[in-house]
Amino acid sequence: MEERTLSHYTTPTQKTLENLFEDFMKKESIFKNKDALSIKYRPEKIYHRDEQINTLSRILAPVLRNEKPSNIFIYGLTGTGKTLVTTYVTSNLEAFAEKHNIKLRVLFANCKMKKVADTEYRLLAHLANLLGEEIPTTGLPTDEVYRRFYNALERVGGNVILVLDEIDALVKKVGDELLYNFTRMCETTNDVNVSIIGISNDLSFIDCLDARVKSSLSEEEIIFPPYNYEQLKDILFDRAMLAFNEGKIDEAAINKCAALAAQEHGDARRALDLLRIAGEIAERNNDDRVEEKHIDMAEEKLDLDRMTEAARVLPKHSKLVLFAILTVLKRKKCVLTGDIQKSYELLCAQMGLRPLTQRRVSDIIAELDIQGLINASVISKGRYGRTREISLSISKTTHDKILLLLKQELDL
Ligand SMILES: Nc1ncnc2c1ncn2[C@@H]1O[C@H](COP(=O)(O)OP(=O)(O)O)[C@@H](O)[C@H]1O
Ligand SMILES: [Mg+2]
């Protein structure tokens, strides 16, 4: 008996490893150029966005006569090509202006980047730096940073297009006063024409702005609708040709990516991510080619990443409630709000925390449901009122991973 167990645990010999490595060397790799699937890659062809490209170019063209273009507000869900199209048009415009000796500077800021725009100060410093004005990373009063930025603008002169990508993230972090100052600046700076392009993933964002900022920022609006299945296929086939070696990906696999991303609000970024991860999985499994099953695995992995990230950033009590739910759901298929309250209160006692009221816990459960971390459906209990029946919305693997993560995060 003992011998059998031992023989089961033999270490792969030097020879086996050599064979493994040799096999790997012999095999033609799946990827030809994986970078073609990365977010940074600038594709040569931009599909199904002619209308947006033309509109944006026409609105910006007056800059070539030294006239200030209208401010533009661009919106559409994530992965609809907003950043791609905007950088494509502005970089072509810049190159054209340079050829014709027209003074034009395009300043680009991705407001989601922490170091670029988590404060008003940082954003101004970033933009001033792009104009060649060094501003220390901290220490100056905000007024002074504004003054230096305006001075830098006037010194540079000519035409300036300010692209504020992911502008909704900026306003969430620092409020809309900064945008008010910027739109005022467009009207008041001397010897320089400043126009703003604001790009947002959040469609309702513009309605939350101060009325003056809103009307100034959206003098023109361009909408990026979601891509449909056929459009995503065009985008994906092009990139797949560049990224994979011949015969290394099934057409069915590409179609599946397009179909999944079309369900997910036509997000080209997700489609490209799926393709890349599927290729990596196939490569690691030593499979010959990327097939539909690899796309399924990639989807599972992306969901896992997304869910664990959502769980990781929850506030402490939400983490505790989620932990209580997931622990109970290890044993049962579904559970009611009242039972969760008890487990949650026990956990609080164990950690020396004061528990939240049942009402707050109920709100948290609703929020967890919206985030897709659990399923919570309201059921009526007749004259005893209503309660929520909670069940699992994630796969078994994700369930285990999140439980482990919460355990670590909560020090349980
Ligand atoms: N029309 C298109 N043609 C080719 N590639 C596209 C197209 N639209 C988006 N992509 C690709 O999809 C990804 C997401 O596009 P992006 O412009 O970043 O979207 P958004 O800024 O709207 O979130 C990028 O890798 C981009 O190259
Ligand atoms: Mg973008």
**What pLDDT, in 10s, does the model give residues 314-327?**
999 999 999 999 99
Whether residue 10 has pLDDT greater than 80: no
* Domain assignments of the chain as residue spans, ordered by start: 29-39+228-309, 50-223, 314-410
Residue 364: which of 310, 315, 299, 303 has the closest Cα?
A: 315
Residue 362 CB coordination number (10 Å) = 18
Question: For the segment 99-128, what is each residue's pLDDT rounded down to a tens digit?
Answer: 999 999 999 999 998 888 888 999 999 999
The SS3 call for residue 279 is helix
Whether residue 204 has pLDDT greater than 60: yes
Whether residue 168 has pLDDT greater than 60: yes
Whether residue 5 has pLDDT greater than 70: no
Residues 161, 108: Cα–Cα separation, whole Å: 8
Tokens encoding 186? 């467009």
CA–centroid distance, 82 to ligand 2, in Å, is 6
pLDDT at residue number 380: 77
What is the side-by-side order of every strand in the sheet holding 386-392? 334-336, 386-392, 374-380
Candidate from 16-30, 133-147, 240-254, 380-394 with smallest mean pLDDT: 380-394
Whether residue 175 has pLDDT greater than 90: no
Percent above pLDDT 70 for the chain: 97
Residues 123, 170: Cα–Cα separation, whole Å: 9
pLDDT band of 38, cuts 50, 70, 90: very high
Q: Is the separation of the CB atoms in 389 and 332 below 8 Å? A: no
- The atom number, within ligand 1, closest to the CA of 48 reads 1
pLDDT at residue number 117: 80
What is the residue with the minimal CA distance to atom 16 of ligand 1? 81
pLDDT at residue number 293: 97
Instruction: Compute the residue count for the chain.
Output: 412
- Quick one: DSSP state of residue 246? T
pLDDT at residue number 173: 86
Strand duo 374-380 + 386-392: pairing: antiparallel
Half-sphere exposure of 373 (CA within 13 A, CB side): 29
The fold of 314-410 is Arc Repressor Mutant, subunit A (1.10.10)
| Ligand 2 ion: Cβ-proximal residues, 5 Å cutoff | 83
pLDDT at residue number 114: 80
Strand duo 158-165 + 72-75: pairing: unpaired
CA–centroid distance, 76 to ligand 2, in Å, is 9
Partners of 335 in the β-ladder: 390
What is the residue with the minimal CA distance to atom 10 of ligand 1? 81
Whether residue 367 has pLDDT greater than 70: yes
The fold of 50-223 is Rossmann fold (3.40.50)
| pTM, rounded to two decimals | 0.83
Whether residue 176 has pLDDT greater than 80: yes
CATH number of 29-39+228-309: 1.10.8.60
pLDDT at residue number 265: 87
Question: What are the pocket residues of ligand 1 if the criterion is a CB atom closer than 6 Å to any ligand atom?
Answer: 39, 43, 46-49, 76, 78-84, 235, 268-269, 272
Q: Is the separation of the CB atoms in 314 and 324 below 8 Å? A: no
Question: For the segment 247-304, what is each residue's pLDDT rounded down to a tens digit?
Answer: 999 999 999 999 999 998 899 999 999 999 999 999 999 899 999 999 999 999 998 8
pLDDT at residue number 179: 92
Whether residue 84 has pLDDT greater than 60: yes
Whether residue 385 has pLDDT greater than 80: no
- H or E element, residue 404: helix 396-410
CA–centroid distance, 79 to ligand 2, in Å, is 7
CA–centroid distance, 162 to ligand 2, in Å, is 15
Residue 253: which of 276, 269, 286 has the closest Cα?
A: 276
Whether residue 214 has pLDDT greater than 60: yes
Whether residue 4 has pLDDT greater than 60: no
Residues 404, 412: Cα–Cα separation, whole Å: 10
- What's the mean per-residue pLDDT of the chain? 92
- Mean pLDDT, rounded, for 155-180: 92
Q: Which ligand is nearest to the CA of 223?
A: 1
